[in-house]
A and B are shown apart, each in its own frame.
Chain A
Amino acid sequence: MSHRVILGIESSCDETAAAIVRDGRTVLASVVHSQIDEHAAWGGVVPEIAGRSHLEAIRPVLSEVFAAANLTHHDIDAIAVTARPGLLGSLLVGVTAAKSLSWAWNKPLVDVHHIEAHAYAALMSLDEWVFPYITLIVSGGHTSLYRTDSPLEHTLLGATRDDAAGEALDKGAAMLELSYPGGPSIEKAGALGDPKAYAFKLPMLDRDSLEFSFSGLKTALLYKLKGPGGKRTDPTLPESQDLSGMAASFEYAVAETLSRKCARACAQTGIPRVLVGGGVARNSRLRARMAFQGEKHGFQATFAKTEHCTDNAVMIAGLGHARLQAGCQADLLLDVAAR
């Protein structure tokens, strides 16, 4: 049976989302309910707040996506849902909702891996696919490089050993006393700053690996602001009070590290095509540095559309379509997993 119109559901972290997508490509409707305001006061995602918010949002989000698409459940061929990785309490709300709809409407159910879906979001930006690709997934929870041979085949080449790039940006923003989420705040604060105003050593570029490490960069920012061995409560050094320069330099260090690692992955594998997805893929400096490195080293980088970088259900429905075409299906015993 051909499954053409897919309802996607995403609830792995702090966004409750639903989308209806035809043939894995055409977005008929997409609704995202963000919880950022509910978590902002805490400086990060609070799992219990997230779980409660998903429960409140799931039914209105479902109603809204059908209304926006001007469709009913009779028009849906299957339901796709993020089952991993993510916050368990958050994933459980989306998966329970998806199983309930699948049972009530007698529709097939398919589970989707959230990280693979971010890669699919970047593939959706391309009219034609020429596999293989080097895929960089970069967000608040993940920083990983893969070799992608199809929408369903991803081989890990390297990942972060500690903080994800987005997590480093969040923590860096907190040190700079900028608001949560840190990525957009640092981008805004550093928009007019000199990215060479403060020199940061780019992490893990001195060895031949495709792994990342951002926790040292975070410590370097702290010491630049407060002096060697300084604490967050210490006063900021007089020479470190150029906020826009500091934000731009820190953001540059993150973006340049990611771009150069992609260049290295292309050189090592001989693959001249890069896909970039995940929340940090929205970052303008990363897009600019990736374009620069691509021109210098002969690779073409394709980013997910900005509205498909942060968590959304379009990519879930899209990848769900690909999985159904490949014969994958889940049943009512589908479970969730944090990793």
Chain B
Amino acid sequence: MTGALLAIEQSGREASVAVRFEADAQGRDLHMRFFSGQRGVTLLSEIDDLLKEAGVNKNQLSAVLVGIGPGSYTGLRIACAAARTLSFALEIPCAGVVGFQAKMLEAPLDQTAHFVLDAYRKEIYHASYRRTRDAIETLSAPLILPQEQCDSAVPLGEAFFGDPGLFTDERASLGAQTNPNAAQILDYAAFCGVTLDAPRLEVFENATPLYLRAAAFRSSPKA
């Protein structure tokens, strides 16, 4: 029995789960489901339906990959809790994938591309990467910036994913969507050389949300 990879992506309003498996007679090797990411209530039910539709047994799963953001902390935390517990229960590895890196597979080759995502409170998430033939190089890891720095973070003429409305001037985006879907996480895993049977996940992150803000927002703890 060959293995299969499960991916969970819950960083935005639209969540998805996907499974990649050995190609069947029709050449089909991927199945994905989209659902509302709100509070992750349906996540396990979606995974159950996903595997049934794909004809994959849960014992075939060889690893769980989870999108770790940037994005909604609640959605990411539920996704990571599921990934970690499934990893424990099924005795398979799990790892986190930075959403922007997976999305970079859509960027033109050998060009810098930025990501700008509204982080609310007049702040943005920003990161930049370069896609080469065999790697996604991180030029600037995800961080939070005041929204007023959006213009300067993305030099004029450089490509970006995100909402053009975050800039004060007019710019054309590679796409408004900055978070990947679960299939794109699996595509990124394949791009990184992850196999179905004996996945090596060392190149990825821990299954922990990208917490780019402090947990407590008061300026200082009580004396």
Contact = CB atoms under 8 A, between A and B. Distances in A.
A145 interface: no
A306 interface: no
A67 to B, nearest CB: 12
Interface in A25-69: 41-43, 46, 48-49, 51-52, 54-56, 58-59, 62-63
10 contacts: A41-B222, A43-B221, A51-B74, A58-B84, A92-B39, A96-B82, A100-B85, A104-B86, A104-B90, A333-B42
A92 B73 CA distance: 12
Contact of B73 (A41, A42, A43, A48): A48
A103 B48 contact: yes
Contacts of B121: none
A51 B78 CA distance: 10
B90 A93 contact: no
Given A43-B222, A48-B216, A49-B216, A100 B77 contact: no
Contacts of B41: 333-335
Contact of B45 (A41, A49, A174, A332): A332
Interface residues of B, number: 32
Interface in B25-83: 39-45, 47-48, 58, 73-74, 77-78, 80-82
B215 interface: yes
Contacts of B44: 96, 99-100, 102-103, 332
A51 B39 contact: no
In the A-B complex, list the 8 residue pairs whose CB atoms are closest, starting with the nearest: A104-B89, A41-B221, A100-B85, A43-B222, A332-B45, A96-B81, A99-B44, A97-B85
Interface in B202-223: 208-209, 211, 215-216, 218, 221-222
A51 B75 CA distance: 12
A204 interface: no
B87 to A, nearest CB: 8
Contacts of B90: 104
Contacts of A334: 41
A49 B84 CA distance: 19
A275 B48 CA distance: 42
Nearest to A11: B81
B211 to A, nearest CB: 7
B211 A52 contact: yes
Interface of B: 39-45, 47-48, 58, 73-74, 77-78, 80-82, 84-90, 208-209, 211, 215-216, 218, 221-222
A93 B58 contact: no
A103 B45 CA distance: 9
B45 A100 contact: no
B40 A92 contact: yes
A100 B209 CA distance: 18
Contacts of A93: 77-78, 81
Nearest to A9: B85
Nearest to B208: A55
Nearest to A52: B215
A141 B105 CA distance: 48
Nearest to A92: B78
A336 B78 CA distance: 12
B77 A63 contact: no
A315 B221 CA distance: 33
Contacts of B80: 55
Contacts of B216: 42, 46, 48-49
A63 B88 contact: yes
Interface in A62-107: 62-63, 73, 88-89, 92-93, 96-97, 99-105
Nearest to A73: B89
Nearest to B81: A96
B221 A100 contact: no
Interface string A87-130: 01100110011011111110000000000000000000000000
A36 to B, nearest CB: 14
Contacts of A48: 73, 215-216
Nearest to A53: B215
A99 B218 CA distance: 34
Interface string A249-278: 000000000000000000000000000000
Given A55-B209, A100-B82, A100-B85, 9 more contacts: A52-B215, A92-B39, A93-B78, A96-B40, A96-B78, A100-B89, A103-B44, A104-B86, A333-B41
A42 B78 contact: no
B43 A96 contact: yes
A49 B218 CA distance: 12
A331 to B, nearest CB: 8
For B41, B58, B80, which residue has the most chain A Cβ atoms within 10 angstroms?
B41
Contact of B81 (A58, A73, A102): A58
B71 to A, nearest CB: 15
